[in-house]
Amino acid sequence: MSGNIELLGTILAAARAEDRAALIAYLPAGFPTVDGGIEAVKAVIAGGADVVEIGLPHSDPVLDGPVIQTADDIALRGGVRIADVMRTVREAYEATGVPILVMTYWNPIDRYGVERFTAELAEAGGAGCILPDLPVQESALWREHAEKHGLATVFVVAPSSQDARLATITAAGSGFVYAASLMGVTGTRASVGAQAQELVGRTRATTDLPVCVGLGVSNAGQAAEVAGFADGVIVGSAFVKAMLDAPDEAAGLDAVRSLAGELAQGVRKR
C-alpha cells in the first residue's frame, strides 16, 4: 500500500487556493493514553486542523520543551510502542481522511528498521515523517524507502541555516518544509518573532514546497500573524498544554477541539 504524500499535497494546495494557511496540529501518541491520544487527534481535526503530526514519544527529545517532554513521559510510562503510533495514525486517518504524519527522532526508526517503519506507516495510511535530527547528508536510505512507499520526508530548517544549506535541505525534502520560528525548543511564547518571516522568505527562494512555521504559536492572533507569510501554521505545545491542564480526559478533548477552532479562524485572517 502506498502512503498519502499526494493527499498531503492536495490539502496544502487547497488551503492556498482558499488564500489561507493550513493549520497543522501536533499531538504525541499514547498521551494521555493510546485510546485518549487517538480521540485527541480526532478532536483537533473536528475543530479545524487540516493536517496532524503524531509525535513518537522519545526519552531524549532534543527539540521539545517541557510541555511536550511531560506528555512524552506520560506516554512512555504508559508503555507506548511504535505499534501504538501506527495504530494512532491508522485510526485517525480512517476516521477523518486527513493527512497524518509522524514526527520522530531518528534513533527509534534506526532501531526499528527503515524498511519496516516506512512500510508500516504507509500501510497505516500515513502521509510521511518529520525528522528534526536526521542530517540531510545521512538521509539517503530513509528517502529511498520513503519515496518507494509514497511518504513525505519533511526536514526542519532554522534561522541559523545559511542559504546554501537551505537549498541543500529543501532539495532533499518533500511534502513541505518545517521552518522553526526561532532557535530553541518547542513551547508557547509571547511572540513568534521577525526571524520566522525572514526564514520563510529565504526558504521560499530555494523551493516550490510549502513552507510551514512551527515553534511558539499558541493563539489565534499568532496564527493569523504567521499565516500572513507562511503556507502552514504548526501548533503543538498549546494543544498538549490544554490536555495537561484539563481536569479529566473529556474536558481535555473539549479544550483541544475549541483551541483548534480558534486557530482555524486565525489562519483564515492572514
Exposed, middle or buried: residue 84 (CB in 10 Å: 0-12, 13-18, 19+)?
buried
Tell how strand 152-154 and strand 100-103 pair up.
unpaired
**CA–CA distance from 246 to each of 42, 255, 264 (Å)?**
17, 8, 21
**Bridge partners, residue 129, by sequence:** 102, 153
Exposed, middle or buried: residue 194 (CB in 10 Å: 0-12, 13-18, 19+)?
exposed
**Active-site option among 53, 72, 91, 225:** 53
Q: Report the alpha-carbon distance of residue 44 to residue 28 in Å, rounded.
A: 13
- Whether 94 sits among the annotated catalytic residues: the reply is no
**Active-site option among 39, 50, 64, 120:** 64
- Whether 254 sits among the annotated catalytic residues: the reply is no
Cα-only R_g, the chain:
17
CB 181 within 8 A of CB 216: yes
Q: Report the alpha-carbon distance of residue 81 to residue 84 in Å, rounded.
A: 5
Q: Report the alpha-carbon distance of residue 165 to residue 170 in Å, rounded.
A: 9
Active site residues: 53, 64
